[in-house]
Structures are given as C-alpha cells and as structure tokens.
Structure 1
Amino acid sequence: MATIRDVAKLAGVSTTTVSHVLNDTRFVSEQAKAAVEAAVKQLNYVPNAVARSLKGGSSRVLGMLVTDSNNPFYADLIQWVDKVAYRHGYNLILCNTQGCAERASDYIDMLNQRRVDGMLVMSADARQVPMSAFGAMPLVLMDSGPAEVGCDRILDDSERGGYLATKYLLEQGHTHIGILAGPLNKKNSQNRLEGYRRAYAETNLEYASTWVQSGDFSYQGGYDAMAALLQQRGRVSAVFAGNDLMAMGAARAASEQGLRIPQDLSLVGYDDIPGAQYFNPPLTTIQQPVQQLAEQAIELLLKRIADPKRAGECAMLAPTLIERHSVAPLN
C-alpha cells in the first residue's frame, strides 16, 4: 500500500507539499499540484483517515449504532442517514449491536479509536451501556433517550401515535380494540399504550385489561401476543399493533384462527415500513417520518460537532396516520 512518502518521491516534492495538496491547506503551484495528483492516481494512494484526523481535527466519518439492522424500519432509516451524511461530506460506519451490551461497548471503543467525528445512537443501544462509555464523543440519541444525559435527542411522539391509531379505530365504530404493545419496559411501548388509554378516556367506553397484550417488536412477538389476545373472553373487533412487524405476525395468528382482515378483524400497525403498502391487504399504519428523522439527526450532530459545549436539544417528530385497507368500518 502506497504511503505519502511514496507519493512525494514520485512527484518530486516534499511530504508537506503533498499534505497541503490533499488537504487544500496552503497555496501550491499548479505544476507541483499536478505532479502530486498524477502520483496519487498512479499509486492509487488513499490517505490515512485517522492520521488526517489527528492533524486536521476531523475524520469526516460518523458512527451509527443500531440494535437490529434487519428490521425494515432501521434498514430504511440507515439508508436515509447514509444519504444525508454523504450529502454533507461524511462517510458512515454502521455498527449492528444485535441487542448485545458487550458488542455495543466494543463498537463504542472502536469508533473512538477510529476518531469518528460524532455518533448516532438508537435508544435501545443507549440503555445498554453507561453514558460515560461515550466519553466526550458528540452524540445524538435517536428514537428516545434519557433527558438527563445532556446530549441531543430526537423523539418519536409515540403517545400521540398510539392515540391516533386508537381514535381512528373508535371513529370507525370499533369499541372492542385490542393493543399489542411492544416490550413494556421500553418507553415507546409505554407511550403508545398511554395514547391508547387517552383515546378511550375521551369516550364513554372502557377497555378490558385482557385486551392489552405485549411482546417483542418482531413478527414472532406479534404472533404470540395476538394468539394470547384471541384466547381471552370478549372477542375484539380491531387491533392496534406496536409496530408493523407485530401487525404482520398478528395477521398470521388471526388467519390460523379463521379470521380475515379486515372483514373479521381490523388491524393498524406502526412505523409504515416499506413493506406495509404491499401487505395483503395494504396495512393502515402510523407513519414515522424517516427522512425527517435522518435530516434532523445529522443536523443536530453537526451542530454538536461544531459546538460541543452547547445546551442539549430535543426534537419531537409528529407521527401521521396512513389509511390503507386493513380496517373495515362498523358504523
């Protein structure tokens, strides 16, 4: 692998001149500049990003920790974050923790060693390790995160999302509505359940405690929660699932019980993953603005990189109901 000294030798200039040409930090004659560029091309020289960051203070690289990049919501978000980062002149290092605290800690160490300029962290990963593990790294917590850490956060208004989904089903004439909440130790799951409760509180109706089931944010989690719900007394006519993967798992469980969607059971999901519109029937769901989430995350992170000591900001993203064909009106 070629070094900066190899480039300087071939171009007939000093290593300092090569550095100034590559980093555009001082005027270099056109003749010397052309010689350096020709040598770089001939040797296929790639500058050492870590060394450049040590000297120039910036690696032009951002890190991103995600719990599960196989989840379609995260996969879509990652694509948007990468696009926005690239537009601002940054490369992205993606680290999939797979929900493992040790793996998350190792990745944080690696990103610090790589001297990335900043880091985006999904809330599930932020809870796995102490905030002190991030050190002085410019940081933005996406999706949730504790307020006391003093870093920037972007929140999904999950309470409003749960409210919109439940209110919509009530407006369609459904009075017996089940909810397949995500893991109840997660703030987003708690907030979506609170939105469900608020929508009922605005009516003269009550919901049964047995209509509330929880499970992992996965196909299997939705399947298991739906199977448990269908075993309860007092059959529900509609279900609000904590995310679209749960909704799809729930649909499978309902189908095995001979229930058709939406003829026998109406269904609303959450996230509006790319596959939701191709589900059969196309899934009514609560949309998280993924592109806006990526834009604001990068914007906040760049502001934090430019001014590490500024006060932390919190951005709240508004969810939207996307009406498709998985809900049948009863009124």
Structure 2
Amino acid sequence: MAEVARIAGVSTTTVSHVLNKTRTVAPETEELVRLAVERTGYRHNLAARALATQSTDTIAVAMSVVTNPYFAELVRDIDRLLRRAGYTMIVADTNDDPAVAADVIENLLARRVSGLIVSPLEAGGPHAAAGAELARALGRLVDDNFPLLFLDRRSAMPADQVYSECAESTYGLTAHLAEQGHTRIGYVLGSPVATSAGDRLDGYRRAVADLGLDDDPALIIEGESDEHLTEQRLTAHYSEAKSPATALVVSNNQMTLGAMRALRKCRLKIPRDVALVCYDDFEWADLFDPQITAIAQNVPALAASAVDLLLSRIEEPDRPPRSVTVPTEYHHRDSCGCGRRKHRGVSAR
C-alpha cells in the first residue's frame, strides 16, 4: 500500500479510502490510485482488513440451491443486490437436511461472515435430533444479536424473516379446481422439514373443509419435494386407488415435473383426465402442452426485502425483528381445464 501511495503521489490513508470506499475521493485522485494499483499488481489483503475491522463484508447464504431452480434464481438476485451494496456473497448448499445445515452454518460462521441468510428447517420426524441441534445453533445467533435473516420459510424464532404468502394461495388453487366441479382433489405435499410445506397444506385443508370436498387421507400424497418420489407415489396412486384424485394441487415446482411424468406413465391426459395446478411457477410452465396454471412467487421482491432487512440489521443491531410476507401472483393457463380467463391473484374465499 505504501508503494501504491508513493507512485500515485498520495498518502496511504487516501489509498485506503479508495480501496475500501470509506470516503469520497476526487475522481482524478482515485484514477491515480487505480493506475498505481495496476502498475504494482497490488492485491488488497482482505484477511488483514478483517482482523483490523472485525468485519469481512461477506454475507453467507445457506439453503438448498443446487437442486431447486427457484432457490438458484433467488440467490442470483441476492448476489446482485449485495454486490451493489459492496458485499461479497458465499453460498453453501444445505440439501434441505438439518444435519448438513448445522455443519454448513458452523463452517460459514468460522469464516467471520458479516451476516447470514438461512432457509430454516423444522426439527420433525427422522430429522428430530439434527433439527434440534440446528435450532440451538440458530437460537444462539439470535440471542447474540448476530445479523441473521430467515428466507422463504417462517420461523418461530424472533429474527428478521422474509417469505412468500402460502396458505391463502393454496386455498385459492384448491377452490379454483372445486369451481370446475372437482370434489376429489389430491394434494402433493412437500418437504417434511419445510414450514412452507405445512403452511401450504393448511390452505388446502381449509379449502377442503370450507367447500365440502372429499376429506380422504389417501388424497394427500407425500412427494417430499423430490421429483422422483413424487413420480413413484403418484404412479402408485393412479394405478392402485379405487377412487383416485380427479385433480391435483402440487405444492412446488420440483414435484410438478414428477407429477406430470406419473400422469404420462399412467396414460392420463391433463386436464382431460386429471386437472393440475401448482404452487411455484417455473421457467418452462408455459412451454408445456397444456400450459401449467401456477402460483408464482415474486423472486425479485423476496431478494430485495431480504437484503434490505439484513443490511439494516447490520447497521442497527438492536432494532426489533421484522417479518415481510411477499404476495404471490396467479398465472392462469390451461392445465386446470377451465379455459383461459384473465386474472391476477387468487381469491381465498
């Protein structure tokens, strides 16, 4: 840094301000510093700066990114916003497994990240022990006032969180199928460790109760947010059930692909034989024949709210936690079997 300052004809303090963006410097001075940096091949020592400032200006994101295109799109938007704010992002895939998530978060924190965005997981069923360990680790972060944000799924912990509306949207999808005369409406349930899966199921169950639909446990098919499990279990449902579902609400985009493969394997046509709608619109939904009626999450709004809440938490660590529920949008296409109508939003009642 001293060599850069000597070549540029400025002080080392000015070089520091240019590199760290800690103070506005005259454009001509900044250009001199940039040229000196190029000439010397200087690399800013981020590790040394982190030791001096106790901050890495790095935000960690822990969620199931690789297997879910929705999360990948969300992370892309978060990265763009963080870079604009001067932060670097690290991503670690949790595989939606509480044991993996606990290990991933511990490793990220060891890198002294400035903040953490997590898609929370529940501590139920076979994941109970690992989920409890994960909950304790996150609880300690909340108690320590560490900049933490829960994204995509609700958490009972008193921390900042951002998630899409779930229950009313799923209620509306179910009600729309009921309007077409369906009473045996199947529901494909997502991951047992995701609170969003439970919220969406609640919306379906309320619609079944309110609208007098068939309340048959066999109509709830556990897809576990897995495309292949969904295909297997729906194939079994339509091959073996005496009175199978005449319509399906699929609760995320990964399982929608599995559902469509199962129906094709069973030689059932959408929507002639089985009407189908899904929560979580995806890039190819309007390329299928028929095009898929779906609830779309507002990914740019989710990313913007998440970054805004987390960075404001870093600036104001003692402020009360805030929750943001982002509205969804109804994309009405052909797979529901009622023909095209223009609507935005789903009526919950």
TM bin, normalised by shorter chain, reads: 0.7 to 0.9
Q: 2:44 aligns to what? A: 47
Give the stretch that moved more between structures: 235-244 or 95-104.
95-104
33 and 301 in structure 1: CA distance in 2 versus 1, 3 angstrom threshold: closer
Task: Tell me how far 1:58 sits from its aligned partner.
Answer: 4.5
The one of 241, 261, 265 aligned to 1:232: 241
Number of corresponding residues: 326
Task: Find the residue that maps to 2:285 and give its secondary structure.
Answer: helix
Q: 1:294 aligns to what? A: 303
The one of 1, 4, 8 aligned to 1:7: 4
Task: Find the residue that maps to 2:151 and give its secondary structure.
Answer: strand
Instruction: Structure 1: state its 5+ residue gaps.
Output: none
Instruction: Structure 2: state its 5+ residue gaps.
Output: 124-130, 340-349
CA contact 2:185–2:214 (8 Å) conserved in 1: no
Task: Tell me how far 1:27 sits from its aligned partner.
Answer: 8.7
Task: Find the residue that maps to 1:180 and give its secondary structure.
Answer: strand
158 and 225 in structure 1: CA distance in 2 versus 1, 3 angstrom threshold: farther
The one of 174, 181, 185 aligned to 1:177: 185
Task: Find the residue that maps to 2:121 and give its secondary structure.
Answer: helix
Give the stretch that moved more between structures: 311-320 or 18-27.
18-27
Task: Tell me how far 1:266 sits from its aligned partner.
Answer: 0.9
Task: Tell me how far 1:305 sits from its aligned partner.
Answer: 0.6
C-alpha distance in 1, partners of 2:3/2:229? 57
Q: 1:304 aligns to what? A: 313
1:151 aligns with 2:151: no
Task: Find the residue that maps to 1:37 and give its secondary structure.
Answer: helix
89 and 238 in structure 1: CA distance in 2 versus 1, 3 angstrom threshold: same
Alignment RMSD, CA only? Answer: 2.9
Task: Find the residue that maps to 1:124 and give its secondary structure.
Answer: coil
**Residues 117-150 of structure 1, C-alpha deviations (whole Å, 9 max, x = no match):** 2111112399572214645430110122432x32
C-alpha distance in 1, partners of 2:81/2:28? 36
The one of 190, 193, 198 aligned to 2:198: 190
1:22 aligns with 2:19: yes
1:80 aligns with 2:77: yes
Give the stretch that moved more between structures: 97-106 or 35-44.
97-106
C-alpha distance in 2, partners of 1:179/1:190? 12
1:283 aligns with 2:292: yes
The one of 120, 123, 127 aligned to 1:123: 120
28 and 317 in structure 1: CA distance in 2 versus 1, 3 angstrom threshold: closer
C-alpha distance in 2, partners of 1:298/1:275? 28
Q: 2:174 aligns to what? A: 166
302 and 29 in structure 1: CA distance in 2 versus 1, 3 angstrom threshold: closer
1:273 aligns with 2:282: yes
Counterpart AA for 1:260: K
Q: In percent, how many aligned pairs have the same letter?
A: 33
CA contact 2:145–2:318 (8 Å) conserved in 1: no
53 and 258 in structure 1: CA distance in 2 versus 1, 3 angstrom threshold: same
